[in-house]
Amino acid sequence: MRYFIEIAYNGTPYHGWQIQPDAISVQQVLEETLSTFFRSAIKVTGAGRTDTGVHARQLYAHFDFENIPNIEETIFRLNSFLPKAIAVQSIRRVQDEAHARFDATQREYEYLISLQKDPFAEKLTHQLFQTPDIDRMNQAAEMLCDFSDFQCFSRSNTDVKTYICTITKAFWEIDGNRLRFTIAADRFLRNMVRAIVGTLLDVGFGKTTLEELQQIIESKDRSRAGASAPAHGLYLTKVSYPNTIFVKK
């Protein structure tokens, strides 16, 4: 039987989601915990990869195992096994062919910025010491929805077959001393959100005009876009799937 496990994690202690040869990752910890708990070798496939230091409020992964009779008790016991930085939110039975990565229809990220020094959010937000022009950055964010090829925001030397993504929303909002960027798309390229944030901050600080932003996107040249924003301000917040993949109780 196939299950989707929904987790949240603080990415600070981990070298991203994907298993690494010489570093600890979220995927490794989750697989080891599930294998110990179920007394069987469990492999998980995630909805996507997060980089070192990036967090997730919602990430799904699928795994195969025999019938789990009491899911609520299983969640409780798994959370007692897992380190404090990782939490299981739910486990749901899905169709046997369901795939956590390929069946995802939309992913949503948030990027959090502190506009004043906050010792309690040092590893959870990006610190700025000046406030950028939010209105100008929202104009720039709105422009993203007019394009589909985002090679200029992709990490170089990746093995992707296409740089086409459909962005459905992108906007900035201010909440007290926090600045939040929300972006949703059917898929994201490696480093794409952090590169977008860095480039939009350049717009907000007057280093890049809206006309220049359009030229950057059309150029498909990563070197022309802004520097990537730090990883610790980025959160994967939502992954969406069609209801048809879930097995009804």
CA–CA separation, 206 vs 228, rounded Å? 17
Residue 62 is classified by DSSP as: E
Residue 46 CA to its chain's centroid (Å): 11
51 has catalytic annotation:
yes
Q: Nearest-CA neighbor of 230 among 32, 104, 51, 106?
A: 51
Concatenated DSSP letters of 122-188: TTTSEE-SS---HHHHHHHHHHHTT--B-GGGSPTT---S--B--EEEEEEEEETTEEEEEEEES--
Catalytic choice (22, 51, 118, 133): 51
Q: Give the dihedral sign, CA 93/94/95/97.
A: negative
Enumerate the active-site residues: 51
